[in-house]
Structure 1
Amino acid sequence: MLFVDTRNGDGSAGGHAIADLARDRGIEAVTSCSGGDLRARVSEVVADGADALGMAGGDGSLALVAAVAAAHELPFVCIPVGTRNHFARDLGMDVGDVADALDAFTVGVEREIDVGVVNGRMFLNSVSLAFRGGGRRGDHHDAGVCTLGATARRVLVPGGLMPELRPAEETEGEQLRPGVLLISNNPYALEGPSAGTRPTLASRRLGVLFIDAWKEMRPSPGRAWSASHLDVQAADETRAGIDGDEVQLLGPLRFDVQPAALRVRISRRHPGAPPLARLPSWSSS
């Protein structure tokens, strides 16, 4: 079963006539809306005996359908028609080849990849913890690691109000007020030709990028490390971006990685790794 979310990403799913292409290949396809209606529809088709789930839409919709697939141990197929297609790129797909992406349903290769979880909610890409104060919605949510430094300088202002956040295993009791805290499902490469991509989705590690608040009119240097889990003390209600969608999380926050929790299929003709992928040399904790 393929779900086509025409209201997500850049709206290109309809332009690609994804549903018709899928049906031509014998794949049952339905157009759907996002959010609760999509979640309910996916649950219905699983109850009716679906043996594979796919999603054509943005990263937020992909994560929702993938979570159901993982819960029922079903294979998941990503059709890259979103705005940025972060997950598809890091999965090693050719994001310009929608027809081949559909072939993954029938003649694809299968891999098991990790997923991230925050307070029981699954994410495929990353969670960015929001600050209170300046900045517009979208300035930091799903900003992309390769531009995160520039984003931090643009949206953080001296004296801006941020939630009290403390990564327990990193700060050793020191109370910090970060401007940006991004936790990713597997670490991103931060420099070199592969910057902004995850060279692997099977490292069994979270990536953590931490940029402190401004001090004396200058941004503090960022720090990056990897971890199997992360505990963050936060307000009872903390605004965050999860795979590009804005949500409210209830503190404290617990981040974990679930190794090999999702079965994914991609086309045999797709490369299977991000271009110029290189493992990052992050410290571990």
Structure 2
Amino acid sequence: MDSPGGRQRRHARKRVRPARRGVLIVNPRSGDGKAERADLVAKAEALGVRTIVLSPDDDLRALAEQAAADGADVLGMAGGDGSQALVADVARRHGLAFVCVPAGTRNHFALDLGLDRDDVAAALDAFGEAIEQRIDLALVGDEVFVNNVSLGVYGKVVQSGNYRDAKIATAAQILPELLSPDTEPFDLRFTGPEGTTAKTADVLLVSNNAYHLTSLSQFGTRARLDAGMLGIVTVTANRNGGLRALLSAESEERVDHFPGYREWTVREFEVGSGDELLDVGIDGEARKLAPPLRFRSLPGALRVRVPRREEPAGFWRKIRNWAKSVATSATSVLRRRSRS
């Protein structure tokens, strides 16, 4: 396991000039039509950004590659996290700056970039005078992801056709079946934080940098996107009675206090299995991959631009943590005074 001293230094944030040949690829179906409701195409073109509207039969990677070949200096994606990862990969391969426009359903990547997920069009300002910083990407095999890869229970849950529209309800319905005493444990083999070999986990999450996780269904947030590390979370429940405790911890958003919860960070990670294919969720997209799955961090791989008025997500998290700590201290003082 990598020590905190081995972590990458933060990459400097710098102000950059407006894109000269900015290109935005728009998925009009993502987020139940969020791009259309925000009038993204017209607003982007008003800023001088060329737009490419994705059709159902289009090859997203091919469109992004063509945009790079045609001379784009900034490449953006308006869509969900899976699409963000694919276009970000094209941008990093060509050394282009990337703009994330949160037009998907959950937009976890945008959240950790510090973007306002409720104001989709505001992200277009990153094509103007902006702040640029290098952040990490991560790989499973040769496929890039920006958020996480889930295996075990949530790798199975993502395969459900109902998952995208009703994530929590779908998980609640499937979890008891997957974790019943009659169900075979997941065959997931990996090295734990102490260097010992594990043969199973009910939940296995590999993320691009470490999450602060209190709920499995809601996932969490990342204080950093440039630590050069993979975050690993595993949860193992006792099949004879442990499910109720796990569901209780999940409902109270205290899953990190569940006895079978573990988390650590590494630069590389491997998952083996005797199964021919593993059910996997890559940035929320259902996949089936042949083991072994090899993961690694790509430190500082992507130049990402955000609007100048945005602050990094970690900044606001520190403010919230400071406020919480002050409130806790004040409460303790008041309690001591009331006893005296």
* 1:248 to 2:272 alignment: no
Q: How does 1:156-195 map to 2 (within 5 A)?
A: 156-170=179-193, 172-191=195-214
Alignment gaps of 5+ in structure 2? 1-22, 244-258, 322-340
Query: Residue deviations 1:195-237, cap 9 Å, x none?
Result: 8110110111111110125332314611111111111112332
Who is 1:55 aligned against? 77
Which structure has more helix as a fraction of its residues? 2
Matched AA of 1:208: I
* 1:260 to 2:300 alignment: yes
Who is 1:283 aligned against? none
Please state whether the residue corresponding to 1:214 is helix, strand or coil.
coil
Scaled by the length of structure 2, the TM-score of the pair is 0.72
- Cα gap change, 1:221/1:3 in structure 2, threshold over 3 Å: closer, same or farther? same
Who is 1:17 aligned against? 39
- Cα gap change, 1:109/1:71 in structure 2, threshold over 3 Å: closer, same or farther? same
CA–CA distance in structure 2, aligned partners of residues 150 and 226 of structure 1: 31
* 1:232 to 2:256 alignment: no
Report if aligned partners of 1:9, 1:57 keep a CA contact under 8 Å in 2.
yes
Query: Residue deviations 1:254-274, cap 9 Å, x none?
Result: 111110001100001112215
* 1:205 to 2:229 alignment: yes
- Cα gap change, 1:127/1:273 in structure 2, threshold over 3 Å: closer, same or farther? same
Who is 1:29 aligned against? 51
CA–CA distance in structure 1, aligned partners of residues 153 and 308 of structure 2: 42
- Cα gap change, 1:131/1:84 in structure 2, threshold over 3 Å: closer, same or farther? closer
Report if aligned partners of 1:157, 1:214 keep a CA contact under 8 Å in 2.
no
Report if aligned partners of 1:4, 1:29 keep a CA contact under 8 Å in 2.
yes
Scaled by the length of structure 1, the TM-score of the pair is 0.85
Who is 1:273 aligned against? 313
- Cα gap change, 1:133/1:105 in structure 2, threshold over 3 Å: closer, same or farther? closer
Who is 2:10 aligned against? none
CA–CA distance in structure 1, aligned partners of residues 178 and 305 of structure 2: 38
Higher-Rg member (1/2): 2
Please state whether the residue corresponding to 1:9 is helix, strand or coil.
helix
Give identity over the alignment, percent.
Answer: 40
Shift of 1:187: 0.5
Who is 2:95 aligned against? 73
CA–CA distance in structure 2, aligned partners of residues 35 and 163 of structure 1: 35
CA–CA distance in structure 2, aligned partners of residues 90 and 151 of structure 1: 29
Aligned pairs, number: 273
CA–CA distance in structure 2, aligned partners of residues 5 and 172 of structure 1: 43
Alignment gaps of 5+ in structure 1? 281-285
Who is 1:118 aligned against? 140
Shift of 1:54: 0.3
CA–CA distance in structure 2, aligned partners of residues 133 and 59 of structure 1: 16
The partner residue of 2:262 within 223, 228, 241 is 223
Shift of 1:158: 2.5
Report if aligned partners of 1:53, 1:77 keep a CA contact under 8 Å in 2.
yes
